[in-house]
């Protein structure tokens, strides 16, 4: 199986493994994009991974993971700001990439509502910034929070107060009003900021979105004040009184209250008008003076919005119509090989700098050796089989704010005397053999811990946000400490102080970039992390295929490090009770299982883990309680005619409350909701003594009447 196998061709087992991989990959991409403001893959790649995940889930609904990326918005908030729980979740938007997608979306809205006539939508630019929720009580701004993971964001109130587009007080606003919108930076302000930063030796930003995010998420609000941020209001969260009857009316009301709203917002009567406005906005894109990455359509009638409600992470009443990716041509100067944590050799294109969509690009990913040679993992041609060579004239592609890639090559511009690229079979970092296993698109260094690149990348992963997250010990410090032979493996971090004794502090504080206070803080931060949750430890080990989500599943299943370690050490790949038990975990596939067991069977790896564990106090993991809603965990069946909602709406609501909706009555059914015309199902339920209620009874039960 490969990551390129079409969803409809995957076997059940392959689908399970693929969902695990996608979950991990998307979690990593999310963290890079949202928490670290440093995206690793393009928006288009991200969207493709999400679509692939959704397609596989649609084929195997029962394999959908507890941590399914379909249910995740953004990433968890970073540790530096206090947290704010959103009273109304901050959601993401589904994507449309073509006119057909938009037509399908409009049709599905009509179908859901049981309407034939066209439904009116607003259409407005999708601003490429970061979303912010502003809470006003009694007309005063009391709180500002970033989206975070949609449930919980970061408290950035002091920073938001410094943005001139954000009013401190409102006249004649509802008692409680949460205004939501996008913080962004104009191109001109971005260029000036980068120039200023460069002059002062500060950090420069890759694009306006990163600059806006980095400027808003400053611990010192005075820095935010010095950054030219702006805000467009386009939505709302909790409100004590409705703003209007329509989306357009609500936006006008926000405008009247003193917020900036986007002047390109229109009401469109049907799909043709929506698409016409999309093209109009697209034609103005280059001259707007700020980045947009598409057009957002929203059902105009707010009563209908409410009926449509939400899927797990996206509203049914809105969609983002994305602009196509941006392209440019340039010269490929060189191909460098980077060695990653798991030994993967990744080819990186070094380019003659070129501007793609307003950003200067000089590096791009080339994925793997097959990609360079012009074929996919199954040997099928890509780019009609054209290979990529140093010296070639290549097409660079990026969508949004992301690592660009090479999409194509122009053979008519190929210089004389070029040779096909010979992918190294020796690790450029340690000289060990680099091998490609059957079915793997990637060539890997076999040096393990003797390979300095792998060792450093492993350490960087170990101290990453979702792993040990040691304050003051980031990638840069890890590299420095590794170079100086202070640390070679994770355990060394915890023995650093012991090994160097009291002199350690002096040594550290004599180094560039370290003072007495920061050195002391570092050792405190290290000690603080000795007590740590099992899932973080498992994730931190950096075992191939074991992402954050998978680590959570393993921790939840085994509970303690001792149980996990004993089970893995005792397991044999492909047979026996321990192997079966591992594979029985929902969300763990054979590939991941084999990878974990292999890691625990490698002598050096085991020893290194043992040294680490000896330094830690690993916390047991208990499963969370799923109590909460009156129908959580119950199996519900709907029958007969529903008068206040469509069947799809009823099912979606029930599922959102944690119920399982089934099509037939059986002894497992907990509740039957029967409308007029209910027949055999109602009779069967009565025979089985199953509780039966009508539609109003159901609405009462879920508190929706
Ligand atoms: S509406 C419930 N309108 O896009 C949906 N979002 O991909 C609320 N965004 O998280 C969002 N411009 O950060 C909406 N005109 C616009 C937008 C917009 C940009 C962002 C927003 C959202 C993301 C979803």
- Considering Cα of 584, then 589, then 592, then 595, what sign does the dihedral take? positive
Q: How many CB atoms lie within 10 A of CB 415?
A: 11
The protein residue with its alpha carbon nearest to ligand 1, atom 8, reads: 91
Q: Calculate how far, in angstroms, residue 93's C-alpha sits from the geometric centre of ligand 1.
A: 6
Kindly name the residue from 50, 64, 126, 405 that is annotated as catalytic: 126
For the Cβ of 403 lying below 6 angstroms from any atom of ligand 1, the answer is: no
Confidence (pLDDT) at 311: 83
Determine the Cα–Cα distance for residues 432 and 448; give it in Å rounded to an integer: 9
Q: Give first-to-last CA distance, the chain, whole Å.
A: 49
Q: Calculate how far, in angstroms, residue 704's C-alpha sits from the geometric centre of ligand 1.
A: 27
Query: For 406, what's the count of Cα atoms within 13 Å in the CB-facing half-sphere?
Result: 36
**CA geometry: angle 531, 341, 548, nearest 5 deg:** 50
Q: What are phi and psi of 276, to 5 degrees?
A: -65, -40
Q: Please list, in sequence order, all residues whose beta carbon lies within 8 angstroms of the beta carbon of residue 498, skipping any fewer than 6 positions away.
A: none
Confidence (pLDDT) at 329: 92
Question: Which of 121-144 are b and which e, b meaning 16 or more Cβ less than 10 Å from the residue's Cβ?
Answer: bbbbbbbbbbbbbbbbeebebeeb
Best of 30, 259, 296, 401 for a ligand 1 pocket test (most atoms within 8 Å of beta carbon): 296
Confidence (pLDDT) at 440: 84
Q: Would you say 320 and 313 are in contact if contact means Cβ atoms under 8 Å apart?
A: no
Q: Calculate how far, in angstroms, residue 320's C-alpha sits from the geometric centre of ligand 1.
A: 8
For the Cβ of 292 lying below 6 angstroms from any atom of ligand 1, the answer is: no
For the Cβ of 296 lying below 6 angstroms from any atom of ligand 1, the answer is: yes
Q: Please list, in sequence order, all residues whose beta carbon lies within 8 angstroms of the beta carbon of residue 318, skipping any fewer than 6 positions away.
A: 93, 94, 296, 297, 298, 299
Q: Tokens 């059940």 correspond to what residue?
A: 12
For the Cβ of 64 lying below 6 angstroms from any atom of ligand 1, the answer is: no
CA Rg value for the chain: 27
Classified as helix, coil or strand, 623 is: coil
For the Cβ of 314 lying below 6 angstroms from any atom of ligand 1, the answer is: no
Name residues of the chain where pLDDT drops below 70.
1-2, 33-39, 43-44, 73-79, 357-358, 399-402, 501-502, 622-628, 705
Confidence (pLDDT) at 37: 62
The protein residue with its alpha carbon nearest to ligand 1, atom 13, reads: 131
Q: Calculate how far, in angstroms, residue 300's C-alpha sits from the geometric centre of ligand 1.
A: 15
Best of 127, 150, 316, 317 for a ligand 1 pocket test (most atoms within 8 Å of beta carbon): 127
**pTM for this entry:** 0.54
Q: What is the DSSP string of 11-72?
A: -HHHHHHHHHHHHHHHHHHHIIIIISS---S-HHHHHHHHHHHHHHHHH-GGG--TT-GGG-
Confidence (pLDDT) at 255: 97
Residue 551, both tokens: 């680590």
* CA 267 to chain CA centroid, nearest Å: 31
Q: How many CB atoms lie within 10 A of CB 610?
A: 11
Of 619, 601, 605, 466, residue with least CA distance to 24? 466
Residue 657, both tokens: 């409350």
The protein residue with its alpha carbon nearest to ligand 1, atom 21, reads: 131
Q: pLDDT digits over 312-356, tens only?
A: 778 999 999 998 877 889 999 999 999 999 999 999 999 998 878
Q: How many CB atoms lie within 10 A of CB 178?
A: 21
For the Cβ of 160 lying below 6 angstroms from any atom of ligand 1, the answer is: no
The enclosing H or E element of 627 equals: none
Q: Would you say 178 and 236 are in contact if contact means Cβ atoms under 8 Å apart?
A: yes
Determine the Cα–Cα distance for residues 16 and 655; give it in Å rounded to an integer: 22
Q: What is the DSSP string of 213-240?
A: HHHHS-SSHHHHHTS--EEEEEEEEEES
Determine the Cα–Cα distance for residues 45 and 213; give it in Å rounded to an integer: 21
**How far, in Å, are 178, 245, 323, 533 from residue 401 at the CA level?**
28, 36, 13, 33
Question: Of ligand 1's atoms, which has the minimum distance to the CA of residue 310?
Answer: 2
Q: Calculate how far, in angstroms, residue 126's C-alpha sits from the geometric centre of ligand 1.
A: 6
Q: pLDDT digits over 246-288, tens only?
A: 999 999 999 999 999 999 999 999 999 999 999 999 988 878 9
Q: Is 126 a catalytic residue?
A: yes
Q: Calculate how far, in angstroms, residue 171's C-alpha sits from the geometric centre of ligand 1.
A: 26
Determine the Cα–Cα distance for residues 139 and 142; give it in Å rounded to an integer: 9
> Strand 635-639 relative to strand 671-674: parallel, antiparallel, unpaired?
parallel
Of 118, 117, 114, residue with least CA distance to 643? 114
Q: Please list, in sequence order, all residues whose beta carbon lies within 8 angstroms of the beta carbon of residue 654, skipping any fewer than 6 positions away.
A: 631, 636, 638, 661, 702
For the Cβ of 91 lying below 6 angstroms from any atom of ligand 1, the answer is: yes
Of 75, 86, 83, residue with least CA distance to 178? 86
Q: Calculate how far, in angstroms, residue 61's C-alpha sits from the geometric centre of ligand 1.
A: 28
Q: How many CB atoms lie within 10 A of CB 404?
A: 25
């Amino acid at each position: 199986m490969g990551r390129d196998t079409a969803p409809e061709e995957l076997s059940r087992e392959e689908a399970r493994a693929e969902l695990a991989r996608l979950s991990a990959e998307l979690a990593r991409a999310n963290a890079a994009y949202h928490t670290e403001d440093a995206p690793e893959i393009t928006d288009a790649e991200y969207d493709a991974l999400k679509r692939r995940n959704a397609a596989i889930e649609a084929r195997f609904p029962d394999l959908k993971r507890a941590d399914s990326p379909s249910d995740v918005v953004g990433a968890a908030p970073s540790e530096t700001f206090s947290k704010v729980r959103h009273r109304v979740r901050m959601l993401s938007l589904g994507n449309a990439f073509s006119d057909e997608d938009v037509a399908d979306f409009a049709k599905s809205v009509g179908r859901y509502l049981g309407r034939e006539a066209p439904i009116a939508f607003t259409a407005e630019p999708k601003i490429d910034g970061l979303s912010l929720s502003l809470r006003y009580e009694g007309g005063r701004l009391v709180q500002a929070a970033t989206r975070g993971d949609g449930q919980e964001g970061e408290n950035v109130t002091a920073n938001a107060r410094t943005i001139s587009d954000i009013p401190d007080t409102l006249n004649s606003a509802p008692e409680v009003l949460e205004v939501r919108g996008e913080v962004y930076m104009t191109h001109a302000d971005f260029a000036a900021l980068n120039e200023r930063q460069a002059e002062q030796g500060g950090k420069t930003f890759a694009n306006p979105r990163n600059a806006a995010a980095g400027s808003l998420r400053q611990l010192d609000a005075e820095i935010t004040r010095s950054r030219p941020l702006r805000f467009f209001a386009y939505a709302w969260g909790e409100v004590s009184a409705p703003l209007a009857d329509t989306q357009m009316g609500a936006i006008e009301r926000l405008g009247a209250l003193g917020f900036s709203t986007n002047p390109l917002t229109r009401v469109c009567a049907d799909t043709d008008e929506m698409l016409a406005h999309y093209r109009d906005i697209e034609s103005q894109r280059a001259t707007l003076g700020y980045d947009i990455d598409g057009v957002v359509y929203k059902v105009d009638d707010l009563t209908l919005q409410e009926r449509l409600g939400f899927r797990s992470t996206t509203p049914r009443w809105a969609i983002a119509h994305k602009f196509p990716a941006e392209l440019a041509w340039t010269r490929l100067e060189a191909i460098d090989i980077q060695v990653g944590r798991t030994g993967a050799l990744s080819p990186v294109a070094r380019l003659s700098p070129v501007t793609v969509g307003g950003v200067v690009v000089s590096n791009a990913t080339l994925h793997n050796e097959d990609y360079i040679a012009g074929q996919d993992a199954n040997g099928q041609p890509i780019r009609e089989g054209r290979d990529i060579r140093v010296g070639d004239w290549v097409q660079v592609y990026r969508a949004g704010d992301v690592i660009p890639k090479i999409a194509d090559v122009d053979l008519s511009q190929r210089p004389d005397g070029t040779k096909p690229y010979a992918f190294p079979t020796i690790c450029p970092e340690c000289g060990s053999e680099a091998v490609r296993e059957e079915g793997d698109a990637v060539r890997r260094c076999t040096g393990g811990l003797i390979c300095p690149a792998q060792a450093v990348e492993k350490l960087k992963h170990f101290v990453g946000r979702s792993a040990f997250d040691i304050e003051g010990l980031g990638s840069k410090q890890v590299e420095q400490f590794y170079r100086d032979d202070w640390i070679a493996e994770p355990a060394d971090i915890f023995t650093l102080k012991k090994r160097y004794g009291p002199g350690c502090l002096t040594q550290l504080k004599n180094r560039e970039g370290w003072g007495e206070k920061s050195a002391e803080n570092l050792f405190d931060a290290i000690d603080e992390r000795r007590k740590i949750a099992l899932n973080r430890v498992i994730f931190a080990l950096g075992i191939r295929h074991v992402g954050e989500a998978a680590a959570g599943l393993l921790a939840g299943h085994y509970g303690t490090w001792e149980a996990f370690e004993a089970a893995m050490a005792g397991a044999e790949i492909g047979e026996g009770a321990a192997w079966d038990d591992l594979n029985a975990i929902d969300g763990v596939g054979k590939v991941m299982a084999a990878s974990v067991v292999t890691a625990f069977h490698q002598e050096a790896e085991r020893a290194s883990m043992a040294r680490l564990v000896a330094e830690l106090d690993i916390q047991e993991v208990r499963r969370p309680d799923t109590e909460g809603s009156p129908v959580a965990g119950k199996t519900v069946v709907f029958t007969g005619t529903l008068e206040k909602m469509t069947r799809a709406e009823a099912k979606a609501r029930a599922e959102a409350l944690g119920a399982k909706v089934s099509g037939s009555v059986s002894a497992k059914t907990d509740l039957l909701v029967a409308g007029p015309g209910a027949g055999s199902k109602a009779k069967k339920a009565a025979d089985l003594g199953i509780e039966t209620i009508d539609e109003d009874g159901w609405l009462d039960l879920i508190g929706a009447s």
